[in-house]
Amino acid sequence: MALTALFEVPFRLPSTNSPAVVALRSLVFLAGAVTVANQALHLLQFSWFYFLRPSSVRKYLHGPAPYAIVTGATDGIGKAVARELFGRGFNLIIHGRNEEKIRTVIAEIKASGGNGDIRYFVADAKAGGHDFAQLLAPFADLHITLVIHNVGGALMRGERIDGFSEAELLETIFWNDVFPLLLTRALLPQLRATAQRGPVLAQFVGSQAALASPVTMTTYAATKGFLATLSRGLDNDEQLWGTPTGVRFEYLSVGNVSTPGNPQDVSLMTPSAAAFAKALVDKIGCGKRFYTPSRPHAILGSAAAVLPERTVDAIAAQMIEKAHEAQRKRH
């Protein structure tokens, strides 16, 4: 009988006006409002940064003859960035590993318009043992306000890490990390001196691969992750350790770009080197320490940020497979 009585007890929902229900409803509303406001804020920030914000690059055109250093400037992104900066009034110091090719690029840049000075230095970034003080000695008296560490790359061979030789792995690390690290070390005293007269900025061209570490590109992705950490640490050193020096550092998270070294069809998500260079130069001096210069790349990164990690990895693996397939067809 007791069991029967239990089932006969009517079940009553709490009153919609009870304190508990009112409090719960308020919490749900508040959570929804915060979420909507947060998304609206992100949309406004995105719109300002990628559509409305005027470029700040001209603030680095101070002094009688401002120079920009661009490494890896004989092809692709580096060459396009050098051309863009020259067109906006900067003198250039460009780097490459082949002197004949550098001279050809200098002639091309000058032919595109502009009356600035262009100098260069030659060094194989994949090799160690450089005397950076000697490499930079010819430029010791120049007013360097910008440094674009573009040099770097990956060995696209479709292998797991043990499919590469020790020499090849070290080559990738020297190419992407050691060369820009030691070049920065040698440049810093001069950059600090320049910063006494105006803002100075050094940028590291990174990769969205550092966020996903795609298959067969493990070492490359890791080297770009190193640059992100290096950039933040250097910026902290110059701003927070002792007296601020005025030298700032930025890391650029870069997606797919069509270049001679990555000859893919230009599309919305794969801009040409020239289009990407314009976006990069437009964003110089934006005040962010870690950002994506290209609007399509930023959209792609935002989408990846809300997807499950395994989904992102699977999509990245498919993209790498397509890149290898295209490479096989070219050869």
What does the block give as tokens for 184? 């920065």
In 3D space, the residue among 245, 243, 267, 242 whose CA is nearest the CA of residue 256 turns out to be: 267
**What's the Cα-to-Cα distance from 72 to each of 25, 180, 204, 218, 294, rounded to whole Å?**
58, 11, 12, 22, 20
Domains, in order of start, for the chain: 57-329 (3.40.50.720)
pLDDT of residue 21: 67
CA pair distance 120, 172, nearest whole angstrom:
23
Residue with tokens 């997807």: 307
List Cβ neighbours of 98 (8 Å cut-off, separation of 6 or more): 74, 122
pLDDT band of residue 6 (cuts 50, 70, 90) is very low
pLDDT band of residue 15 (cuts 50, 70, 90) is low
pLDDT of residue 328: 75
Predicted TM-score of the model (pTM): 0.87
- In this predicted structure, the answer to whether residue 3 has a pLDDT above a threshold of 70 is no
Mean per-residue pLDDT for 118-125? 98
Beta bridge partners of 262: 259
In 3D space, the residue among 251, 259, 306, 257 whose CA is nearest the CA of residue 283 turns out to be: 251
Helix, strand, or coil here: 147?
A: strand
pLDDT of residue 13: 54
- In this predicted structure, the answer to whether residue 237 has a pLDDT above a threshold of 60 is yes
> Quick one: which H or E segment has residue 36?
helix 19-47
- In this predicted structure, the answer to whether residue 8 has a pLDDT above a threshold of 50 is yes
* Residue 117: other Cβ atoms inside 10 A: 14
pLDDT digits (tens, 9 = 90+) for 163-222: 999 999 999 999 999 999 999 999 999 999 999 999 999 999 999 999 889 999 999 999
What is the sign of the dihedral through the CA atoms of 73, 76, 77 and 81?
positive
Q: How many residues does the chain have?
A: 331
pLDDT digits (tens, 9 = 90+) for 247-304: 999 999 999 999 998 888 899 999 999 999 999 999 999 999 999 999 999 998 988 8
Mean per-residue pLDDT for 3-13? 51
- In this predicted structure, the answer to whether residue 78 has a pLDDT above a threshold of 90 is yes
pLDDT digits (tens, 9 = 90+) for 20-61: 766 777 777 777 777 677 767 778 888 888 998 999 999 999
Output the average pLDDT for the chain. 91
Instruction: Report the percentage of the chain scoring pLDDT > 70.
Output: 93
